[in-house]
Amino acid sequence: MTDMTIQVTYRRTRRLSMRIVKNGDVHVSAPIGIPKSEVERFVEEHRDWIAKARKKTCESQQRRADFYNQLPLRTREQADDALRRLKALIEPMVDRHSKEMGVQPSSIYYKAMISRWGVCHIREKSICFSAYLLLLPEWCVEHVVVHELCHLLEPSHNARFHALMDKFFPRWKEARRATIKCVKFY
């Protein structure tokens, strides 16, 4: 993460602010009309903060990559093995919780998604689970299964959805925290 781009966006804001994005670039938000020299001075005054924040971002990205690299999916044999293990883990959970909740997904499929653990396609009533669920403790996987099944009853993350999660998987908040911790602190 040596090269760094500084991107300045002018908006209706009262003060200068900046953040480091995943690739290590610096994004600066500046009030409309502020002189370029003032923006440059702001960035220069915060060089130490930028360096520390970029280092932290780089380390975080590396931990994340290390976590996901625990599940090799490069060869057909590795992908087939992961799929077999996923089905054995997830499908009994889906069957059990579907009956309890009175829902039935039209199909279940698996992809190597790193941005989401699962996705429920409401119109088709299909659910896709991430292959990387294999890296989580079983109770955290169960939380994802119940979460996606709840979307068959309530599409959004509103109060009704959370009430359904409370009913069908009371430890969902704890499971969500444990899941985040698995990836973040690997």
pLDDT, tens only, 4-13: 899 999 999 9
Residue 96: phi, psi to the nearest 5? -60, -50
Which residues partner with 108 through β-bridges?
127
Encode pLDDT of 134-176 as tens digits.
999 999 999 999 999 999 999 999 999 999 999 999 999 999 9
Residue 101 amino acid letter: M
86-100, 136-150, 170-184: the lowest-pLDDT one: 170-184
Residue that has been written with the tokens 């996987």 in this structure: 141
- pLDDT of 108 reads 97
Residue 93 amino acid letter: M
Average pLDDT score, the chain: 94
Mean pLDDT of 97-113: 96
Q: How many CB atoms lie within 10 A of CB 143?
A: 25
Name the pLDDT band for 64 (thresholds 50, 70, 90): confident
- pLDDT of 52 reads 94
Q: DSSP secondary structure string, 24-58?
A: S-EEEEEETT--HHHHHHHHHHTHHHHHHHHHHHH
d(CA 184, CA 61): 9
d(CA 35, CA 41): 10
- pLDDT of 83 reads 96
Helices 138-150 and 172-184, packing angle to 10 deg: 120
Whether the per-residue pLDDT at 1 is higher than 60: the answer is no
Q: Are 58 and 28 in contact (CB under 8 A)?
A: no
d(CA 110, CA 138): 17
Q: How many CB atoms lie within 10 A of CB 118?
A: 21
d(CA 68, CA 80): 17
* Residue 143 three-state SS: helix
